[in-house]
Structure 1
Amino acid sequence: MHVPCFTTGNFQPHHLFLEDAEYGRALDALVKAVSDILVTSPDGARVFLGKRKVHPQPDWWVIGGRAKPGESPQEAARRNIRRELGLDIPPSRFEVIGSYSLTWAVRAQAPADHGTADISTMHRMVLHAAEESRLKIDEKEYADIGWHTKEEVLAGDFHPVLKQAIRDLQVFELQKRLEEAVDQEAEESELVALTRDYVAAVKASRFDQGKVHVDFDEKARTYVSSCLPGDSCGQ
């Protein structure tokens, strides 16, 4: 999975700050591009999530946020990590694992019930122990941060997008292992076993075209998802 960045002509960004009222009008008219990051432990067994305070997702979520014109997805991910965790990570360490279309019924900007819509490029970034000791949480955004095992997220009350991102991450990791085995000219039996694991992971992560409706109980912090009528949905 990758998201190439093409710049046609001599594009020059003109970044500006929008007041809340103007930004709210923009949200009514536009779909935002966001760069999100699924931070993992070096062994890949755990993911690092933040418990957000604000809408559109006041619960456990990945690190990330809006992209700015002219940024590649990786450059936006780098800026978002710097803003939210205080770490400066080279763009090359952000590896794309998926892309998701997200709509939310509630947003932070008035009128809150107009909601917002995003196209998220999801990255994997491995967090090293030395970096973890230096990170600084953005207390305006997050009430808590912490590690969760992949199994905990897949089995627990977490947003379905987090579950999908972990399934896609497992596909990504198996593809890497398979590529390394081919490069190292591994035994045929190992290649066959890895290929079977990879195909099984692809099937588990497969998402057919369609829309999934997610009901979120903010007080109980529970999720119920269902396929919308007339749509064909995968996992």
Structure 2
Amino acid sequence: MDATVHELAEDHFTPRDVPDFGLPEAVYGQALDNLVQANVDVIVHTGGDRILLGYRKDLPLRDMFWVFGGRMKVGETIADAGARAVRRELGLAAERDRLRFANVYNVMWGRRSAPPETNGFQTLLTLMTYECTAEEAEAVTAADDTHQSVRWYPVAEIRELHTSGSALIHPFLPTVLKNAGLY
């Protein structure tokens, strides 16, 4: 069953320019304690058997492989947020019309980077997929400081890491890849 994302905006909603991170860390921590964050993550793949993963620097996925994405900004569509994240984290000029909706997850993380780390936080995570062209696949790189490195992984290698119990694979990763039809 294909799902459609319906995005509604009242006529009097006015988009505004919002900085990448517009809150002081203490205020951001308070927001995480009281609000559910809206995130968009993107599984970048080749359409074959390769998936691009980044080795994360920050909690909740520090020192693990994950896909690319982050918080939505006020006034963004889901596709705009996904394309912005792929541009920011990988340097790809991602075309928003090539992003495909995969699933929505209600994720409760046990730890976070904003203090206090142990409070955790909750996200409503929209997951999308982006199939790279051969030229794009050759051009990807870690374009910001979110990841220590990025690398293409054959699905078989991800499965091997998962089944061996590797701490490099978060338990959610095989689930989101499988539900997106890529695992």
Does TM, scored on the shorter chain, surpass 0.5?
Answer: yes
1:155-187 Cα distance to aligned partner (Å, 9 max, x none): 4132232111222222xx8xxxxxxxxxxxxxx
Q: Shift of residue 149 of structure 1?
A: 2.4
Q: Is the aligned partner of 1:118 residue 2:123?
A: yes
- TM-score with structure 1 length normalisation? 0.67
What is the aligned partner in structure 2 of residue 168 from structure 1? 179
Distance 2:102 2:138 in 1: 26
What is the aligned partner in structure 1 of residue 79 from structure 2? 74
8 A Cα contact 1:150 1:166, kept in partner: no
Distance 1:31 1:25 in 2: 11
Counterparts of 1:8-23 in structure 2, within 5 Å, are 8-14=10-16, 15=18, 17-23=22-28
Distance 2:159 2:39 in 1: 23
What is the aligned partner in structure 2 of residue 47 from structure 1? 51
Secondary structure, counterpart of 2:180 in structure 1: helix
Secondary structure, counterpart of 1:133 in structure 2: helix
Secondary structure, counterpart of 1:2 in structure 2: coil
8 A Cα contact 1:2 1:97, kept in partner: no
- TM-score with structure 2 length normalisation? 0.85
Distance 1:169 1:97 in 2: 5
Over aligned residues, Cα RMSD in angstroms? 1.9
Q: Shift of residue 129 of structure 1?
A: 2.2
Q: Which protein is richer in helix relative to its size?
A: 1
Q: Shift of residue 112 of structure 1?
A: 1.2
Could you say which structure has the greater relative contact order, defined with CA pairs below 8 angstroms and 6 or more residues apart?
2
1:21-71 Cα distance to aligned partner (Å, 9 max, x none): 11111111111111100111132x121110101101111001111111211
1:108-166 Cα distance to aligned partner (Å, 9 max, x none): 11111111211111111011221133333135211121122223334413223211122
Secondary structure, counterpart of 1:69 in structure 2: coil
- Give the letter aligned to residue 66 of structure 1: R
Distance 1:139 1:88 in 2: 14
Runs of 4+ in 1 over 4 A off after TM superposition: none
Q: Which has the larger radius of gyration?
A: 1
What is the aligned partner in structure 1 of residue 31 from structure 2? 26
Q: Which deviates the most, 56-65 or 161-170?
A: 161-170
Number of residue pairs the alignment of both structures matches? 171
Distance 1:152 1:143 in 2: 19
| Structure 2 gaps, min length 5 | none
Identity among equivalent positions (%) equals 30
Q: Shift of residue 89 of structure 1?
A: 1.2
| Structure 1 gaps, min length 5 | 174-204, 206-235
Distance 1:135 1:47 in 2: 12
Distance 2:127 2:81 in 1: 11
Secondary structure, counterpart of 1:49 in structure 2: strand
8 A Cα contact 2:53 2:153, kept in partner: yes
Distance 2:35 2:150 in 1: 30
Distance 2:107 2:39 in 1: 10
